[in-house]
Amino acid sequence: MRLISRRRLRYWSAQNPLIHLLVYEPWFRAVVVCFFFFLLFLGLFLPKIWRASPKGFLPIIKVSGLDIVQAWSLERTALKATTAGQFEEAHYAWKAAAAKNQADAELFRGGIRTILKDARRSHNARDALRQSLWLLKLTSTNILDLELVSNVFIREGHLDLLISLLEPRKDRFTPTLEASYLKSLFNRGKINAFRTRWLKVSRRLPSDPELTLYDSAFLVGWGSPGARTAAQARLDAATLDPALRILACRLQLAAYARLFDVDRYLTTLQRLEEWQSDTLIYHIGYWRLLFLSGRKAEAIDLAQTHEDPPASVLETIKLAELFVDLGRRDKALRLLKRSAPSFGEEPSFWISYANELMEAKQWEELRRAAVQIRGQESLHQQLYAYSYFLEGRAELAVSRQFLAETAFHSLAEWGVNEPSLGFSVASQLLRLGFPAIASEVLRKLERDLKGDLNYWMLLFNIADELKQVDLMLAASKRAFELRPLDSVVVNNYAASLIISRQSQEEAIGLTLRLYAQNPRSLAAIVNHSAALLLNHRHREAEFLLKSVNRTHLTRSQTTHYHLDLFELYFGLQQFDQAWAIGSLIETAYLYPPQRQWFDQAWKQLGARSNEG
């Protein structure tokens, strides 16, 4: 076999010069092997075939070897630029490196750290937000990364977003996240929530001079007069400390705004200007104080002549709100429309813009905004369903009922993910006359809002409009469990028990409490009368029903009053009076259990009449 193989090899080499070179020329063979490995290297190095994203992460991110090398080179450039204080060059390098390998969390961390080091804020605020959100998605909201990006959110004014991220985790905060949460609550104006949380956690937190200043600012602006003097002294002392003076002045501004102290506010703002640490948001606060103190013309002049444009979505929204309060909604709308290219990827911008468009009744512009929202993939998770509400609202306003209903049904199908926005949408749908769709939207939010009294109150009102008694009873009972001493809550729960003709003893106890609190209330009188009738205490109910002033009753109220009279006379076996009153009842206003009971009683009256 060996002889045959050698013969064949000699034959092939004689016939083919290439084979001859490969067999008998070592240098040529080495070149061919090297060339083969070079092609193999290119095949593995250039195409994006290497999965870089974590397991289960979507979308799947694949990179090439060239991408990895270029990202590494750009990372080195960014680190050198950051060390040299060349932040603008560093921002571009980090951004380019992350574009090469979007699955490398360390590249995004480096970019965010550079953003925080850049005192001049030469970065793009939109890039800062995008990088922060992508890092959280990439690392499944890792606690250490959340600590890092929380500083960005606070600095750039994305306080609502930060609070929404932190709220579900507030039982397992690190000291850093606890501080970020407290600062966000205060800076967002949620002062009561700040104070409650601070009193709860302050003893177990490590010493933090910044949080101490926040507490002092609360005492100056919202505390008792006795505590104000010492707290003011602590803030004044902090303004002499180079490390704390800017924060101290900003907190003083919040306190002075609360106290409507225009002069001290202006003095503190001027100090920040001297240190080049003022931002537009603090000027907006001053202009608002001028407006509230009766100096509207001065506020308008300063707002219109201020040169610096808004640098964040919060500044944009606050400036637009100020223009509206100053009677310049046209200017607010122009500002928001002009800011769309800069802040169009932020949900809060579109919510504010849409609200102003609805107030101004600019329906075509509102419909255009809805289309713009759906055109941006980054907004899909938070605002995709909301965009259909905006479209439906615009169509409804111009009497295109079918298109409006189609858009609202799309809204219900997708569901609003953000609880507070979904609550607002459901409230508006109820006012617009779409309670069924409002119910669909709201009930998808039960897991997030089940501890919120307002959620159950709104759900009760929706169920009342739909005459869904089981839902009315469930919603009013849950609200009663949350706030058992609230008269409106008690009245709703008692009315639900009466309408469903359940728990007669509980109903009479609740209505008696309301009647004792306000014996002149029409609702208290009627509900207690109905509860007495359920418990067959007809003479007591008769006394109350006869005291009702029927002059200003609506048709629905009149029907329910007549129903109570009908039940009274039917129970007393005064069938002629019952027949006369029953003929006045408009059954369209009755709830299903009431209609069922009335129909049965009416049939019995008819049978008695035929027998007679």
Tokens standing for 134? Answer: 């992508």
The residue count for the chain? 612
Residue 1 has what pLDDT?
42
CATH class name, domain 62-158 = mainly alpha
Long-range interactions of 292-297: CB distance < 8 A, separation 24+: 292/260, 293/260, 293/262, 296/326
Number of neighbouring beta carbons within 10 Å of residue 50: 16
Domains 62-158 and 514-611 share a fold: yes
| DSSP code of residue 376 | -
Residue 242 has what pLDDT?
92
306, 280 Cβ separation under 8 angstroms: yes
| 514-611, CATH topology level | 1.25.40
- β-strand pairing of 62-63 with 50-51: antiparallel
Domain ranges of the chain: 2-45, 62-158, 361-444, 514-611
Q: Is 23 exposed, middle or buried (0-12, 13-18, 19+ CB in 10 A)?
A: middle
Residue 454 has what pLDDT?
94
Please confirm whether the linkage preceding 59 is cis (ω < 30° from 0).
yes
568, 538 Cβ separation under 8 angstroms: yes
d(CA 109, CA 113): 6
CA distances from 154 to 342, 551, 554 (A): 19, 57, 52
pTM of structure: 0.78
> Average pLDDT of each block of 10 consecutive residues along the chain (612 residues)?
57 62 68 71 64 73 78 88 87 88 87 83 72 85 87 83 85 90 91 92 89 94 90 94 94 95 95 91 95 94 90 89 94 94 87 95 96 88 92 95 95 90 95 95 91 94 95 95 92 92 87 88 88 89 86 88 91 89 91 92 76 53
Tokens standing for 410? Answer: 């799309």
Please list, residue by residue across 581-604, b when 16 or more beta carbons sit within 10 angstroms of its beta carbon and e when fewer do: bbeebeeebbbebbbebbeebbee
Sort residue 591 into left (φ over 0), alpha (ψ -120 to 50) or beta: beta
d(CA 466, CA 429): 13
d(CA 123, CA 92): 9
d(CA 195, CA 10): 94
Residue 135 has what pLDDT?
86
